[in-house]
A = this chain, B = another copy of it.
Amino acid sequence: MNAPRRWPLAMLRLHLVTDAALCGPRGVEAVVADAVRGGASCVQLREKHLDTRSFVERARALKALLEPLGVPLIVNDRVDVALAAGADGVHVGQSDMPLEDARRLMPHALIGLSVENAEQVRAAHGLPVDYLGVSPVFATPSKQDTAPALGLDGLRALRALTDLPLIAIGGIDLDNAAQVMAAGADGLAVVRALCAAPNPAEAARTLRQFTDSPAPR
């Protein structure tokens, strides 16, 4: 098993997780371009309804957009789509492909794993994973099949269990981002706060202020 390559934490500070419906008529690519211009440091393409062919096409289009900017593209769940499109990584959940298999198929990729509780954080130790996506910090309408919200105290408790980079997700917006970083997150992942923002570049710029100058813990 190859050891994961070290991805700089700066690349993980602000994940834009795509939601085609929330991007609306502007389209996913336009929102991504805008958000990255404002400071989104990583893009996770999440598509739950596209057929594989369209999913690969969209991933390829985003990769062409992001490659010159040095911003990594991560594909949610689907290692095949990531491989076909030459994406930089994959984000898997607890019922997606086992981490060890994903790492074997993508030895140098940026691989993230969703965790929702202490048991899953402990089980992630020793896995060839680059970051843990901790969710949901707050209740969110973007994803229906989630565990109860952790809250800031829950995030702090998980932070105490691991040195792996923790990327917080779930209901994070401009109003609570500072508190989430102060609770121990290494970075933020947002859906609505960027995909539904009237001005994604400006929203990303504001969020980066919180991720790059976190309040003292």
Q: Give A50's nearest chain B residue, CB to CB.
A: B95
7 additional A-B pairs beyond A52-B97, A81-B97, beta carbons within 8 Å, are A52-B77, A53-B94, A53-B97, A53-B98, A79-B84, A80-B81, A84-B98
Q: Which of B51, B94, B97, B102 contacts A96 (CB 8 A)?
A: B51
Say yes or no: is A159 at the interface (Cβ < 8 Å to chain B): no
A109, chain B: closest CB distance, angstroms: 13
A55-76 interface mask toward B, CB cutoff 8 Å, 1 = contact, 0 = none?
A: 0100000000000000000000
- Complexed CA–CA distance, A63 and B113 (Å): 27
Q: Establish whether residues B98 and A83, one from each chain, have CB atoms under 8 Å apart when the complex forms.
A: no
Q: Establish whether residues B95 and A51, one from each chain, have CB atoms under 8 Å apart when the complex forms.
A: yes
A53, chain B: closest CB distance, angstroms: 5
Q: Establish whether residues B56 and A101, one from each chain, have CB atoms under 8 Å apart when the complex forms.
A: yes
- Complexed CA–CA distance, A71 and B152 (Å): 53
Q: Give A55's nearest chain B residue, CB to CB.
A: B97
A to B CB contacts below 8 Å, 17 in the list: A51-B96, A52-B77, A52-B95, A53-B94, A53-B97, A53-B98, A56-B98, A79-B80, A79-B84, A80-B80, A80-B81, A80-B83, A83-B105, A84-B98, A84-B101, A84-B102, A84-B104
Q: Establish whether residues B97 and A84, one from each chain, have CB atoms under 8 Å apart when the complex forms.
A: yes
- How many identical subunits does the complex contain? 2
Say yes or no: is A54 at the interface (Cβ < 8 Å to chain B): yes
Interfacial chain B residues near A51, Cβ < 8 Å? 95-96
A34, chain B: closest CB distance, angstroms: 29
A190, chain B: closest CB distance, angstroms: 24
Q: Which of B54, B94, B95, B97 contacts A80 (CB 8 A)?
A: B97
- Complexed CA–CA distance, A6 and B134 (Å): 47
Say yes or no: is A78 at the interface (Cβ < 8 Å to chain B): yes
- Complexed CA–CA distance, A53 and B93 (Å): 9
Q: Give A84's nearest chain B residue, CB to CB.
A: B101
